[in-house]
Structure 1
Amino acid sequence: MSVMTEETTLTGGRAVQLVHPLPGLPGVTRYRLRGLDEAGVLFTLDSEEGEAVEVSLLLAAPWAFFPDYAPVLSDEDVDLLGLSRAEDALLFVVLTAGETAAGSTANLLAPVVVNQVDDRAVQVLLTGTELPVRAPLAAAA
């Protein structure tokens, strides 16, 4: 299933449950997805486990920086998320903030996908592709 998300706005945030914990964070699966701007471009994914581990990822809607980005999810990932339609998927890329905006990058190889019907989420690893883990945002703008 190919997914491509247009504008996404989140008022007040959305509770999401990761199907699998993020790499290196065993047991942390409850998060809150929050919008950071009115344009629906920047988001945070903050852990809500109530444990000593506090996780906050900076996410972006890929259409803002990579308008042709439309990853194809494996059948396994589609099943894990319970997706029946591509329109039910919210697609995000994980950002690594640089010292300046020009030094920031996006992980195009492992996007975060949320089923907006039931709020299940997973960070997928796209196989059979040579998408970069650190795609410069400056080059995409």
Structure 2
Amino acid sequence: MRALLQRVTEASVSVDGQIIGQCGPGLLILVCALPGDTPETANALATKVSKLRLFKDDAGKMNLSILQTGGSALVVSQFTLAADTSRGNRPGFSGAAKPDEAERLYLHFAKALQDCGVATETGKFGADMAVTLTNDGPVTLWLDTDAA
């Protein structure tokens, strides 16, 4: 799986002008399932995200996890993280998991993150979503489970 994490003071996702998911201080997590990913892959990614020390401690150092700060997460499916831009000017997305499998793994990841103790909301898989956020830092990290 692939995830782009952004530390935020707030984030929300809307469909047809209605907010369907949001978080306060915490993480906006854009997630893409890749061929070969499994529920175990999603579990491992959720565990990693829950323990990453991306938040400031009293000394101003990034030394605390989302669990330690009591932060929340907004998880949004993002198949475009699998874009192949190596040829031409139009990205290809054949590197993303098939939609049914991708949705299952995306929802599994969100549930696994919640099971780790992180308050988690989601977007709507396959929908045309409007995502708003206020970056904190900014702090942005790219995670690939096959590179871990």
TM-score, length basis structure 2: 0.27
Q: Which of 1 and 2 has greater Rg?
A: 2
Bigger relative contact order (CA 8 A; separation at least 6) = 2
Structure (1 or 2) with the greater strand fraction: 2
TM-score, length basis structure 1: 0.27
